Structure 1
Amino acid sequence: MSKIMTLASQSFRGIAVVALSVALVGCIGIDIDTQFIQDEEIHAAINDQSADRYPEIDPLYISDEVKQFIDSYIQPRDGEETRVDKLQDLLYGENFLHIQYSSEQTHTAMEAFYARKGNCLGVMNLYIAMARYVGLDANFQTVDVQPSWDRRGNLLVLSQHINASGRISARRTYVVDFTPEISLQQLTSDIVSDGVARSLYFNNLGVEQLIEANYEEALIYFKNALFLNDESSIAWNNIGSTYNRLGNSEYAEYAYRMAFSIDDNNATAINNLAKYYRRAGNPQLAGEYEEAIERFNNRNPYYHFALGSVAFDEGDFDEARKSFRRAVRLKEEEPDFYYALAGTYLRLGNESEAKRYTDTAARILALYDNVYRPSNNKVKIIDSSSILRDSSSSISIFPPGTRRWRN
């Protein structure tokens, strides 16, 4: 998973609570009125840059050496799809760069070229720079997937996903991905500008410094990310986490509230605020925020999926079954929910139900075969004229004649 990183503090037992509260659920939003009003003085003190602090850093720069490497394999006469295929060879082929996934560090294009490894954002820096050099349309694209959480000391680091996409013709696009595994793909994506991607790059550098407890250095990077995109809810949240560790509670609270004012799906910010108010001795306000998160979670299929996963790991398969079924009720087109139910029914000794849910998952995967899902080849050409929609009359998620819900 790429490192578009968001931070939260939490005890080990609380990891599930924080992670669940940020799973993507479209446009539901968190039902709480924070009564937030921007404070011009604090806002200006936090967002205090007038220029990019790192103009010398260009994540998309490639040297003449890289260009010669590209020119040795991709010819001017190659068509666009051939160039897409050859770029894949250059980056991932065993006889070329053979770049490997590593979640530890975010690279520029040149750093990824020499390191031969990187996370998704770093490798997409290299891919997009190379693609544009050979004349391909190439853009950063954020993708809605289930967030992935890593525990780093007393920090929880939320990794979200980014890949690359470009247009080959009026109807044909390509998507390039780089990840060992993406689960719970929601089949939605948004093209983002180079400026937003640059902001995400410095955000990630800030997280890497914060993990090392270099708080002042982290804050510098986060502020640069904010300067590049002052509507970045991610950067505001991470600035709040940094000020919290620096002991500046006023700025921490303001940054968390600003993060939520920008994105009312940012449950990480609300969760951080709940913990902030509880530590500050305001249990009533903390409780209001915690209740808002609970209401949000109850409408979130990925919350119930995660609860089911915890129950499954603990051997409580009946509880896992109930949670996975709640997830399916809230989001019927998610194949991994059905695979989870299939595995649960196997543990419960019901092979016929296990097969039924496995078959259902396979139908959903077939339904979305022409919509982007990551592949082993890391690149996919999409023809928009062949994409099936949920309303397609030839598709039935459940086999005709079957009951949708069984115990």
Structure 2
Amino acid sequence: MRLRVLPLLFGAVLLAAGEDPFEPPPEVQAFARQQTNGRPSISSKVSTLLRAFFSPAEEGGLGIVYDNAYTRTPKEVWRDRKANCLGLTALFVGACKSIGLEVRYGEPLRISRWRRVGTTVRFERHVVAVVQSGTLGQELVADFLPEVRRDSLLIAPLEPKRVKALYFSNRAVELLAEEKQEEALHAARHSIEVDPALGVGWNILGVVQRAQGHDADAEASFRKALWEDPKDGAPCGNLENLLRAQGRTEEAIAYRERGLEIRKRDPFFNAFLAEEALGEQQWDEAGRRIKQAIRLLPYEPEFYWIQARVALAQGRTKDAIKSLEKARKWAQPEAQARYDSKLSLLRNIKPE
């Protein structure tokens, strides 16, 4: 079985050449003005507007819900009232600009996720909007979650052209999953045209090229991806798989080691490996990997949930309860009930 590593920014038809995928719908300005009218401060405007994106229609909001089926443009988000983080953020940025707020895109450096989809491993990243508050250089971070935070220390700026390039690379991944290879190839190439220095775009182009049987082109694209972003482990994994399939074992091993070295400091990759080991009943490996993830990022509730599952698999109910208590502690308020129910069940289990 061949695994392809595809970066995807937390995700229609392709747009016509030259069309801006992030052009906001014409109705957004009137909506933004209506929602923020009478709000004197930038902070109140941002928080009110963000809440309105999620509030139900009967309360005057848009009622947008999370949907990762595919990456929508702002116009599609407005139409469907559904979005992943990229589509939602693009619409929010358009709304802010329409009422004169200074806003930019950003990528939180500690929010990502690795997950397997069939024979594909996807690395999903996150994007947010960052609004200048006008007070001593403070910035307000508008996330997909209906909240506003002032801590932007771990948020890297994203240039508009890079965000647009990521939109097209997202679409390439989604189209490839739908077995629309020619459209996926077009989207991947469009991503690189928008931002030739985007390693993600080159990596996804390589994946599409390999799916079409163009291994030499794919290898060149993967190497270009690594040249553009030497800290990205995804092209290493793809090069390893390609070279191994060609019998170039020594080269494949070198890229495997390079990829593992790059990703060993990624808490979400360690959590992904813990999930993999758990599924294969490799309890010690799963425990080791999830401990490493927690050391790197100790406030992520899902890590403690994985740790609890490892403990349960080994019959360590008390340790599982301790891990679940930590998961509940760091979870968002709306998610705590889920951990409460699991804790209730475990506390009623009598140890043998």
Which amino acid counterpart does residue 189 of structure 2 have in structure 1? K
| 2:183 corresponding residue in structure 1 | 217
Q: Secondary structure at the match of 1:141?
A: strand
121-130 or 101-110, larger mean C-alpha shift: 101-110
CA contact (8 A) 1:328 1:334 kept: yes
**1:276–1:58 CA distance, 2 compared to 1 (3 A):** closer
1:226 aligns with 2:192: yes
Q: Which of these residues, 37, 56, 60, is aligned with residue 19 of structure 2?
A: 56
| 1:123 corresponding residue in structure 2 | 88
Distance in 2 (alpha carbons) for counterparts of 1:375 and 1:59: 33
**What is the CA-CA distance between 1:58 and the residue it aligns to?**
4.0
For the aligned residue pairs, the C-alpha RMSD in angstroms reads 3.5
In the TM superposition, what whole-angstrom CA distance separates every residue of 1:105-124 from its partner, at most 9, and x where no partner exists? Answer: 21221211111001111111
CA contact (8 A) 1:177 1:374 kept: no
| 1:279 corresponding residue in structure 2 | 245
| 1:291 corresponding residue in structure 2 | 257
**1:322–1:72 CA distance, 2 compared to 1 (3 A):** closer
**1:129–1:303 CA distance, 2 compared to 1 (3 A):** closer
Q: Secondary structure at the match of 1:166?
A: strand
**1:200–1:316 CA distance, 2 compared to 1 (3 A):** closer
User: How many residues were matched structurally?
Assistant: 318
CA contact (8 A) 2:114 2:268 kept: no
**What is the CA-CA distance between 1:301 and the residue it aligns to?**
4.6
More helix by share: 2
**What is the CA-CA distance between 1:155 and the residue it aligns to?**
3.9
**What is the CA-CA distance between 1:71 and the residue it aligns to?**
2.8
Distance in 2 (alpha carbons) for counterparts of 1:311 and 1:171: 46
**1:100–1:150 CA distance, 2 compared to 1 (3 A):** farther
TM-score when scaled to structure 1? Answer: 0.67
| 2:98 corresponding residue in structure 1 | 133
1:173 aligns with 2:139: yes
Distance in 1 (alpha carbons) for counterparts of 2:211 and 2:293: 36
Which amino acid counterpart does residue 203 of structure 2 have in structure 1? N
Q: Secondary structure at the match of 1:55?
A: coil
Q: Which of these residues, 17, 20, 28, is aligned with residue 66 of structure 1?
A: 28
Give aligned-pair identity as a percent: 24
**1:269–1:318 CA distance, 2 compared to 1 (3 A):** closer
**What is the CA-CA distance between 1:275 and the residue it aligns to?**
1.2
**1:131–1:151 CA distance, 2 compared to 1 (3 A):** same
1:164 aligns with 2:113: no
Q: Secondary structure at the match of 2:208?
A: helix
Q: Which of these residues, 52, 70, 73, is aligned with residue 90 of structure 1?
A: 52
**What is the CA-CA distance between 1:187 and the residue it aligns to?**
7.7
1:240 aligns with 2:206: yes
> Which structure is richer in relative contact order (CA contacts within 8 A, separation 6 or more)?
1
Q: Secondary structure at the match of 1:131?
A: helix
TM-score when scaled to structure 2? Answer: 0.76
Distance in 2 (alpha carbons) for counterparts of 1:57 and 1:288: 41
**What is the CA-CA distance between 1:172 and the residue it aligns to?**
3.1
1:104 aligns with 2:69: yes
**What is the CA-CA distance between 1:60 and the residue it aligns to?**
3.1
**What is the CA-CA distance between 1:334 and the residue it aligns to?**
4.4
Which amino acid counterpart does residue 278 of structure 1 have in structure 2? R
Gaps spanning 5+ residues in structure 2: where? 8-14, 147-151, 335-352
